[in-house]
Amino acid sequence: MGSYSAILSDGSEYVREGLVEKWQRWVILIVLLVIQAFTICIIPLFNGYLVRIYGSTSNDAPNIDDYKRLFVDGWKLNIVTILYMIPAVIVGVVLGLLSIAPIMAAVLGRGRIDEILGFIAGSIGLVVTGLIFAIITLIMYMAFVHFSRSGKIIDAFSVGEITKKIGDGIGWASYVFMWVIIWIISMILCVIIMGLNVIPPLGVTVGIVLTPLWAVFIAKVTRNVYDNKL
């Protein structure tokens, strides 16, 4: 198994060859993304294309055709995402409330020591919530590949098989570090786009144009990890 840097490099090359050099496909994906955004994922054709990437084993980006299939697959991805996020949201709300409670109690009590202990307890709760969200997200992306290969939504929840793919392949340490890099890049891109919003149409336009490239990159990188490639 190659390093995470090789996996990221391969993802970049995939985007360059499949979308940048074949810009017509990129333009179509932008249109599908806009449709998906305006319909609040009710017409998830863009997600359907991502499923096509997750499910493929080819080094070439798939063509955009069979829109009925894209629609169905897009909804499968929607369902898997929602089902994964439900427990994450529940845990987040519960821990969030438990985190806020000691802080509020400390503030209302106006005791210096109680206030410090309250903020410490609250901070720990927020950190735990963030970790749970992160772990679920890491597994969920691999689940996208797992169910895309079979086409069965139920396979997205074969957590044992999914985690084994990570452990036997790139390894959890490298997998987490790779995602840390991806998240950092994501944050930088978000800051840049938000900065461009000083000229209202510019930030939104850049975001829409870059999102297909970034989403396809993530899909290919995740697939490489799943396939123990490189």
Alpha carbons 19 and 27: distance in angstroms, whole number: 9
pTM given for the model: 0.89
Nearest one of 75, 93, 42 to 147, comparing CA atoms = 75
For residues 148, 152, 158 and 159, what is the CA-based torsion angle, rounded to 10 degrees?
Answer: 40
Q: Match 């900065």 to its residue by tokens.
A: 195
Q: What local confidence, expressed as pLDDT, does residue 212 receive?
A: 97
Quickly state the pLDDT bin for 129 (edges 50, 70, 90). Answer: confident
Q: What are phi and psi of 229, to 5 degrees?
A: -90, 150
Quickly state the pLDDT bin for 111 (edges 50, 70, 90). Answer: low
Distances (CA, A) of 113 to 7, 98, 99: 49, 19, 17
pLDDT in tens, 164-214: 999 888 889 889 999 999 999 999 999 999 898 888 788 899 999 999 999
Q: What local confidence, expressed as pLDDT, does residue 182 receive?
A: 93
User: Do the Cβ atoms of 142 and 162 come closer than 8 Å?
Assistant: yes
Q: Helices H, strands E: what count in the chain?
A: 8, 0
Q: What local confidence, expressed as pLDDT, does residue 68 receive?
A: 97
User: Do the Cβ atoms of 79 and 153 come closer than 8 Å?
Assistant: yes
Cα first-last separation, the chain: 5
* DSSP result, 175-227: HHHHHHHHHHHHHHHHHHHHHHTTSHHHHHHHHHHHHHHHHHHHHHHHHHHHT
Q: Match 């955004």 to its residue by tokens.
A: 37
Q: What are phi and psi of 168, to 5 degrees?
A: -80, -15
Alpha carbons 203 and 64: distance in angstroms, whole number: 27
Q: Hey, CA dihedral for 26, 31, 35, 37, is it positive or negative?
A: positive
Quickly state the pLDDT bin for 4 (edges 50, 70, 90). Answer: confident
pLDDT higher than threshold 80 for residue 109: no
pLDDT in tens, 27-72: 999 999 999 999 999 999 999 999 999 999 999 999 999 999 999 9
Distances (CA, A) of 178 to 104, 135, 162: 37, 14, 17
